[in-house]
Each structure stands twice: as C-alpha cells, then as structure tokens.
Amino acid sequence: MARQWILANQDGFEAALEYQQNVRVPLANELGPNEVLVKIHAASLNHRELAIAGPVGINGPITPPIVPACDGAGIVEAVGKSVREFRPGDRVVTHLSPSLAEASGDDAFASVADVPKMLGQGTDGTLRSKGVFSEKALVHAPESLDWLSAATLTCTWLTAWNALFGLKGREAGPGTWVLVQGTGGVSIASLQLAVAAGATVVATTSTQDKADRLKNLGATHTINYRSNPEDWGHKARQLTPEGRGFDFVVDIGGNQTLPQSLAAVRVDGIVTVVGGVGENADAVPLFSVLLNACIVRGFLGGSRSQFKELVRYIDSNRIVPVVDDVVFELSEAKDAYRRLKEKKHFSKIVIRVEHPEK
C-alpha cells in the first residue's frame, strides 16, 4: 500500500491537494511490459507545480485526479517483461516527459510537444511513496548523490544543463561569463554547473545574506536588483571584460526580466528563457530583441540523452545540488507548496518521502 497526494481540481493548491493513504499499488505481475514500479525516497517542487494546481493558466487543464510533481528519486522494485534498462534494486530519478524517446540534437526539444503527458500533469507524478512509471520516464541516478539531492534533478538541473551545454560547440567553460538571476532552483543549478565548468558567474539577488551565500557557491560578483531596479542588466554587463557582455544569460523571469537580460548579453551571446516567475505580464518588444544581435532560446527540460550526460557530469565532478534549509515530509506537502509560493526558499524545496531504512 502507498501514500500519495492528488490534485482533485485546479482551484489552487490549498483546495486542490488531497492526501490519501492505503492506496493500492500494482503487483509485479500486473505491470505492463514497459512499466517500472519505483519506491520513491524523495521528491522536490518546481514553480510549475503552483501553475498546474491552478487556476488554469499556460500549463493548461488536467484530468483529475492526478498525482502532482515531476521530480523524484527512488529504487526500482519490479519491472515489466520488456524493460531492458532497469532491474530491481537500481537507483533512479524521474524524467519529465514519459513518452519522449532517446533523443539528442534537435530532438532534444521534442518534450515541448509532450506537455499534456508530462509527469504531474497528464501522467501521475512523484508525490507518492510508490508508483508505476514508463521506462522512458526514468534514468539511472548519480551514484554520488543522496536521495534528497538526486530528487532535484528532473526539471531544474536538466533545464540548467540544457541552458549551458545544450548547444553543441557553444557550451559554457573556461573564459565564458554566465549571468544567473536570483536564488531559485534553476539559477542555483546553473551557478553550480557553470562554476564546475570553469566559467565566471555573476548572480543577481535581493539581499546581502543571499549575496553571501551565492559567493560561497562560487559566484564572482553579485548585483542587487532591488537597489538597481531599472538597470541591473547594464550594471552586470559592466563587470564583464571591457563591458562586452555575457556569453550566457539564464533568464527565469520571462517578460519581467528579459529587457535586463538583453541589456546584459554580448553580441552573439545566448539568452535562455527557462521560466516566467516574474510578475510583469507586458510583452517584450520585438525591436528590443532585434537590437541585441544574440540567440534567444526557449525549451522545457531536455532529452534523456542530455539527462544521462548531466548524471555523468555530476558524478565525475562530485557536484552536490543545493537544497533549501527546510526539508518536508510527504504528509507536509501543502506546507512545502506554501513555502514555494511565498518565495521563502533558497534553491530547491525537497520532500522526504521514504526513509532509506524503511
């Protein structure tokens, strides 16, 4: 039997989330040929969880009840007869798009078309103690990470990896400059990956305490966007050699932050738009993009091939994803959602689902 949360509607997480116990789990002989039964040890939340819980927005409607969240890590308990990549006892992490085939290059962005089937939206997600997943919704977990750290990789870290290493021949590395925004999950993951790659990182933030934490993680400079609300992009640019601008800007605010991102990027640099957590809904004028001769990329997550590259990189570089100071239990998921909505977290909010000894 399992414990799980479901979204019963899209009236907002306070009304939509319902906790269930003693939920029946399929037996090994009941699995489909390509299905995998996983005992989940940890999960984590993304901003998308708030959007999916409603009210209905850009993420679209769901067909309730649905188990929310896409990030998770656990152990394989049983596999279907046609599963070849996994066996019982394997440590795994979830992939956002369960029907996405192995892909690289242009196919890495095929997940965009798979939004209706993504974990926690069209397919049951990770806020449960046990669950059945498609084989294609899993990859092997990094050997070097514990459960809480591994549970952060699915959406946030794969997005950060794609932002910095997704264009072959244009990867972040020594001599490149990277601008990240704030202290949310994607920004911290991008910071950690860029520092490991030898890039110089500048981070924006709102307080001195957060600035100190960012520098402890390897940021060379920080910019307080509240002290410079109208021109922090330009001020950040001035920190780069000869004021040329950034090779990579990882934009998490969408319409609200894009003008500043475009002011910060260098000619032929890359602005990756990976989120829309900003409050300003006004569109960015096309002319602003035209005046900045740069590459603007947008995507959702990445391919399984990219995910496997990320796992190898984490293991070889011994990178440990930063998680929030407060760790929640599965029964406390609503409190975790509240902390996310109130933006009280630093990096990733994680939920302990099953203790390893259980």
Question: Per-residue pLDDT averaged across 205-234, rounded?
Answer: 94
pLDDT at res. 54: 86
Handedness of CA 57, 61, 62, 63 (dihedral sign): positive
Which helix (H) or strand (E) is 270 found in, with range? strand 265-273
Confidence tier at 357 by pLDDT (50, 70, 90): very low
Q: Is the pLDDT of residue 60 over 90?
A: no
- How many Å is the maximal CA-CA distance in the chain? 65
Q: How many CB atoms lie within 10 A of CB 214?
A: 25
Mean residue pLDDT across the chain = 90
> For residue 68, which of 20, 17, 111 has the smallest C-alpha distance?
17
DSSP 152: T
Report the topology of domain 2-152+321-352: Quinone Oxidoreductase; Chain A, domain 1 (3.90.180)
Q: Is the pLDDT of residue 358 over 80?
A: no
pLDDT at res. 283: 60
Q: What is the pLDDT of residues 8-24, one digit of tens each?
A: 999 999 999 999 999 99
Confidence tier at 284 by pLDDT (50, 70, 90): low
159-298 homologous superfamily? NAD(P)-binding Rossmann-like Domain (3.40.50.720)
Q: At 264, list the tokens.
A: 């910060």
Q: Which position has the token pair 């078309």?
A: 113
Look at residue 181 and give its three-state secondary structure.
Answer: strand
Q: How many CB atoms lie within 10 A of CB 235?
A: 20
Taking the alpha carbons at both ends of the chain, their separation in whole angstroms is 14
Q: At 110, list the tokens.
A: 């095929």
Q: Is the pLDDT of residue 262 over 80?
A: yes
| Range of lowest pLDDT (46-55, 66-75, 87-96, 326-335) | 46-55
Domain boundaries, the chain: 2-152+321-352, 159-298
Assess whether the previous peptide bond of 26 is cis (omega < 30° from 0): no
Q: At 340, list the tokens.
A: 């996310």
Q: At 99, list the tokens.
A: 């029907």
pLDDT at res. 281: 47
Q: Which position has the token pair 């990976």?
A: 274
Q: Is the pLDDT of residue 282 over 60?
A: no
Q: Is the pLDDT of residue 249 over 80?
A: yes
Q: Is the pLDDT of residue 185 over 90?
A: yes
Q: Is the pLDDT of residue 112 over 60?
A: no
> For residue 316, which of 142, 68, 115 has the smallest C-alpha distance?
142
pLDDT at res. 111: 47
Residue 277 CA, distance from chain mean position: 13
* Predicted TM-score of the model (pTM): 0.92
H helix runs in 198-273, sequence order: 208-216, 232-237, 258-264
pLDDT at res. 58: 61
Rounded Cα gap, residues 112 and 300, in angstroms: 6
Q: At 332, list the tokens.
A: 């406390």
> For residue 167, which of 247, 266, 276, 264 has the smallest C-alpha distance?
247
